[in-house]
A and B are shown apart, each in its own frame.
Chain A
């Protein structure tokens, strides 16, 4: 029998199915307490509609693997950050045509700086690799992605925006 951690780590994200929940950094902890498997996950965004799917998928996979009692817990703090997306996850995203986020480091305390122009991040086009890309819209098909375009190959692409 595979361990509960192995089973939970293989469950895919419902909206970015190239990634597992572990790649995405959403899977925080898997432990066994009194014969029960306790899985802790954290939402990407407050309104992420996929969070219930994630819980249901984890439960289904673990029960399918022979763990009769499964509890899924939600953790809000520390808040999810794109820095938790694994190296492997970043490669998978790029291969799927989605530009991975850059690393942003820990959040600072105190007032949040205002950006009057979109921050000039160097985001490589996942199709041709050019750095000559610009943001079309900060908000894309899911809460976690922005829309960009490449000026070299003229392809639009999605970018997991830093949070």
Chain B
């Protein structure tokens, strides 16, 4: 059978059907999921929640740009990046759920704010609404993807084969995300006075949330050989950011740290004010209509 174009068979072929909307099976269906000997399963579950929540919450933020980006190609790009992160989140939450006895949907839709373990950088509001800006979202994407790529690059060597496999896939995706953010940063930083000013302002906005990314949590400390110590990533990530900012003619903001609550931050389940609004939007449908499917 031949087709005049790649989409023709979606309409005419006897097996034709659109790829979406038939429901999802579990994200790790059929993957060998033995736990490595001697691993602290509760700590592993917490660690999977941390990395899964980072991706889930940032994915939700990126999705908010769909139809609001400066150009159509960018709508598609940010939505694609959000989709990759959502895929990573599904696998990580499923892995956590094996220990916690809950599935990915229950973890995404039925946990309350204090149970989420994402870093604050993932949740802060960078637009498209009031007070946000496309340049701020690019600044966050640059920092987030540079950090997560460095983290996943090392996680490929994790003693947990499932985490290692998720990381091996994720590295390829994150490399595209980081390049995309880096190229936009150069384009805006090295563009007009206006774009330069807004890109610099975007960096200033997200910079107070950078420090948290490299703080070692007790969960990571308890998972030697399984988890990556984020403190060990700092110089690599700094080097990448330095290269991008220098090519873009931008100035690295002064290192300041966003205030914490009693020394706690996102990894401890303590979030900023916008998190409640984000979760209300993300969880509303599932909570109003439990078990709803497409």
Contacts and interface: CB of A to CB of B under 8 A. Distances in A.
Nearest to B10: A17
Given A48-B87, A74-B29, A139-B76, A17 B6 contact: yes
B30 A15 contact: no
Contacts of A50: 19
A139 B80 contact: yes
Contacts of B165: 76-77, 79
A30 B265 CA distance: 47
A140 B172 contact: no
Interface residues of A, number: 55
Contacts of B243: 114, 116
A112 B15 CA distance: 40
A46 B166 contact: yes
Contacts of A52: 22-25
Interface in B29-68: 29-31
A138 B19 contact: no
Interface SS majority for chain B: helix
A17 B3 contact: yes
Contact of A71 (B30, B161, B182): B30
B173 A17 contact: no
B5 A96 contact: yes
Given A114-B178, A116-B182, A47 B84 contact: yes
Nearest to A141: B76
Given A12-B15, A116-B244, A140-B76, A45 B186 contact: no
Interface string A89-107: 0000001111000000001
Contacts of B178: 112, 114
Contacts of A80: 169
B201 interface: no
Residue of A18, A77, A163 with most chain B CB atoms under a 10 A cut-off: A77
Interface size class of B (residues with CB under 8 A): 35 or more
B175 A112 contact: yes
A141 B77 CA distance: 9
A139 B169 contact: no
B73 to A, nearest CB: 4
Residue of B80, B165, B186 with most chain A CB atoms under a 10 A cut-off: B80
B176 A15 contact: no
Contacts of A81: 172
A75 B172 CA distance: 16
Contacts of A49: 19-20, 24, 83
A116 B25 CA distance: 38
A12 to B, nearest CB: 7
7 contacts: A45-B83, A76-B162, A76-B168, A112-B175, A118-B183, A137-B73, A143-B84
Interface of B: 2-3, 5-7, 9-10, 13, 15, 17-20, 22-25, 28-31, 73-74, 76-77, 79-81, 83-88, 90-91, 149-150, 153, 156, 161-162, 164-166, 168-173, 175-176, 178-180, 182-183, 186, 236, 240, 243-244, 247
Interface of A: 12, 14-18, 40, 43, 45-50, 52-53, 55-57, 60, 71-81, 95-98, 107, 109-112, 114-118, 136-141, 143, 147, 161, 163
Given A46-B90, A114-B178, A115-B182, 10 more contacts: A14-B19, A17-B6, A17-B9, A47-B87, A52-B24, A60-B15, A76-B28, A137-B74, A139-B73, A139-B81
